[in-house]
A and B are shown apart, each in its own frame.
Chain A
Amino acid sequence: MNFFFNVGRYFLMLKRVFARPERHKLYIRQLFHEIDTLGVNSVGIVVIISIFIGGIMTIQFAYAMSNPIYPSTLVGLGTRDTLILEFSSTMLALIMAGKIGSNITSEIGTMRVTEQIDSLEIMGVNSASYLILPKIVAVVFIFPFLFIMSVFFGLLGGMVTGPLVGVITIPEYIEGIQWLFVPYYITFSLIKSLVFGFLVASVPAYFGYYVQGGALEVGKASTRAVVNTNILILFFDLILTRLLLT
């Protein structure tokens, strides 16, 4: 019963979020602020994680393909496809759900418990739209860029680490990442990143917007938001993969 109540309330909240903004100029200003806070501030962690994961995957593929019957190009191919199909879209979204999602829940939740949201409502501002819409647009906008950046730095990580630990040469690796390339994989993952971006912004916003109580409840709501967002990301990953890839 609680599940249906929350789903219903989530969609009602979205209806308010996508209502016509009171003053477009303020929303656009807020949008740039959110792109900076939620997107640009996430670039560092995306680069670091992608470089390390790219390097680790290259070593692991090289280890798995150590049998001489496998061509060495498989290492680059494996790294590339894993990055594009799963890591840079899904895994990154899971990581971002922790970073961005908890940020959104705690920010909106704190505004709720300190009556700042009531204050907006009293003024006649659609608080759901003013607080949540710029966040959703910012995250949906920035996610494809983070995805592309993650693929690039992941491949770069593999190219640096592979030769460094002596499991593959740079020419072999470069030949591998170009071998049997399917451009549709990029389209598929970009679609996934848009969907995941929407989930990473809207689900934590829901948990923050309806929090009741004090600081303790805001903390609990953040945890619930991250867990639920992660589950939804994996669920939609399954659905999108089934619909778009098989």
Chain B
Amino acid sequence: MIDVKNLYKSFDGNEVIKNISIRFEKGKTNLIIGRSGSGKTVLLKSVLGLYDIDKGEIWYNDRNLIQMGEKERKIMRQEIGMVFQGGALFDSISVEGNIRFPLDMFTRMTFKEKQERVAFCLDHVNIEKQAFKLFPSEISGGMQKRVAIARAIALNPKYLFCDEPNSGLDPETATVIDKLIQNLTKEFEMTTIINTHDMNSVIEIGESVLFISKGEKEWVGSKDDILKTDNKKLNDFIFANKLYAQMKKG
């Protein structure tokens, strides 16, 4: 569980996140949605500790991120997996090398154990053995995302962060990625936070949805509530897509 309390973040006096409080539940896919420039990425990176916040508290279970020293943060980060928008795979090493990297860096596993873990993670994201030796530039965008997910779960994290995990993917592959993240969240009992503006993701896996607008918390609910809400800003955001407008009418 991650608890965010009264979070404020500004850049050069410009307040980007204003007084956001939210609880991200364990074992659920927690989505952050909002227009481009609404502050989603800043919120995500603040929760991750990549940005120093102005005010507020960020609790990872019973540990306050803000009060942690550099050493404690480093240790805690080994409990975090992150899937970046572009995959962020290390392009100078192979697919299996990417998964093995955190294992090499932070575990005392034998080579055989590492290979087994690599195979386990890649198998969980449906990457075939033939692709293990390929380099990131030699695989498709969808595969890169799946490898990025496999790398994120390599150290068996408690917390999984995904920044626009299905951007740039076709709708079918995007659904596969969404479902994969949801299944992994359930299987490994992780606290998953997904940053997205893809309404398909919201409808597919939005167990808990936070809608932010201009850096403020505007609405919180689930995918079932989202089509029934009266919140004007949220309705404007969702029903900009005619398909969802028809769903609401229908």
Which residues of A pack against B, CB within 8 Å? 22-23, 25-26, 114-116, 118-119, 121-126
Bound CA span A26–B103, Å? 11
Which residues of B pack against A, CB within 8 Å? 48, 50, 73-78, 80, 82, 84-86, 88-91, 101-102, 104-106, 155, 161
Bound CA span A22–B70, Å? 14
Write 22 A-B pairs (CB below 8 A) sorted by A numbering: A22-B105, A23-B106, A26-B104, A115-B85, A115-B88, A116-B89, A116-B90, A116-B91, A118-B82, A118-B88, A119-B84, A121-B77, A122-B77, A122-B80, A122-B82, A123-B77, A123-B78, A123-B102, A123-B106, A123-B155, A124-B74, A124-B76
Bound CA span A102–B6, Å? 44
Bound CA span A22–B80, Å? 17
| A119 contacts B82, C-beta separation under 8 Å | yes
Residues of chain B contacted by A22 (CB below 8 angstroms): 105-106
Smallest distance from the beta carbon of A108 to chain B beta carbons, Å? 12
Bound CA span A125–B101, Å? 11
Residues of chain B contacted by A119 (CB below 8 angstroms): 82, 84, 88, 90
Bound CA span A126–B106, Å? 12
Residues of chain B contacted by A123 (CB below 8 angstroms): 77-78, 101-102, 105-106, 155
| B104 contacts A23, C-beta separation under 8 Å | yes
| B106 contacts A122, C-beta separation under 8 Å | no
Residues of chain B contacted by A26 (CB below 8 angstroms): 104-105
Q: Tell me how many residue pairs across A and B have CB atoms closer than 8 Å.
A: 51
Smallest distance from the beta carbon of A184 to chain B beta carbons, Å? 42
Q: Which 3 A-B pairs have the closest CB atoms?
A: A124-B77, A115-B88, A119-B88
**Known interface pairs A116-B91, A118-B88. Does A124 touch B106 (Cβ–Cβ under 8 Å)?**
yes
Residues of chain A contacted by B86 (CB below 8 angstroms): 114-115
Q: Which residue in A115, A124, A125, A126 is a CB contact (below 8 Å) of B84?
A: A115
Q: Chain A residue with minimal CB distance to B74? A: A124
Residues of chain A contacted by B102 (CB below 8 angstroms): 123
Residues of chain A contacted by B82 (CB below 8 angstroms): 118-119, 122
Bound CA span A115–B48, Å? 14
Residues of chain A contacted by B91 (CB below 8 angstroms): 114, 116
Bound CA span A5–B155, Å? 38
Bound CA span A22–B105, Å? 7
Residues of chain A contacted by B50 (CB below 8 angstroms): 118, 121-122
Bound CA span A126–B105, Å? 11
Smallest distance from the beta carbon of A172 to chain B beta carbons, Å? 51
Smallest distance from the beta carbon of B158 to chain A beta carbons, Å? 14
Q: Chain B residue with minimal CB distance to A37? A: B92
Q: Which residue in B48, B85, B90, B104 is a CB contact (below 8 Å) of A122?
A: B48
Bound CA span A119–B147, Å? 13
- Residue among A22, A26, A122, A126 with the most chain B CB within 10 A? A122
Bound CA span A116–B93, Å? 12
Q: Chain B residue with minimal CB distance to A19? A: B70
Q: Chain A residue with minimal CB distance to B83? A: A119
Residues of chain B contacted by A25 (CB below 8 angstroms): 104
